[in-house]
Amino acid sequence: MGAGLPIMGIDSVGIGDTIQDGQTGFLATDDLSSFTAKLTRLCLDSNLRTQMGRAARKTSGAYAIEQTTEAMLKLYEQLIHAPRPKARKRTARMRAILKDLMGEAR
């Protein structure tokens, strides 16, 4: 994306969040014919390739190391300062779940 080229990917967790299908590249299903059809379209249509490449370049800034590092640090700060759940409630809940599971296993 940062090189100004459209991206090809298999639609899966994480990949589908990064590639905007039909905008910054193509997401294919996990079968070869789907991937091949979309890749062929990119190879044959230079206007589409250029348009998607420009969009990919614009979007790539959101995935720069500085951006992602800052987002992760903010998340960690929130987690550090968030109130901790009461262990007793969680422990009691876990005991109840285990008791139910053990009862079902008998």
**Of 68, 60, 47, whose CA–CA distance to 20 is shortest?**
60
Beta-bridged to residue 8, according to DSSP, are 26
pLDDT, one tens digit per residue, over 66-82 is 888 998 999 999 988 88
Say what the pLDDT of residue 61 is: 85
Say what the pLDDT of residue 88 is: 66
Split at pLDDT 50, 70, 90, the class of 21 is: very high
Across the range 14-30, mean pLDDT stands at 91
Indicate if the pLDDT at residue 92 is higher than 70. Answer: yes
**pTM of the shown model:** 0.62
For residues 94 and 55, which has the higher predicted lDDT (pLDDT)? 55
Q: Which of 33-47, 56-70, 87-101 has the highest mean pLDDT?
A: 33-47
Q: For 63-70, which contacts have Cβ atoms below 8 Å and span 24 or more sequence positions?
A: 63/1, 63/2, 63/18, 64/2
Beta-bridged to residue 38, according to DSSP, are none
Would you say 25 and 11 are in contact if contact means Cβ atoms under 8 Å apart? Answer: no
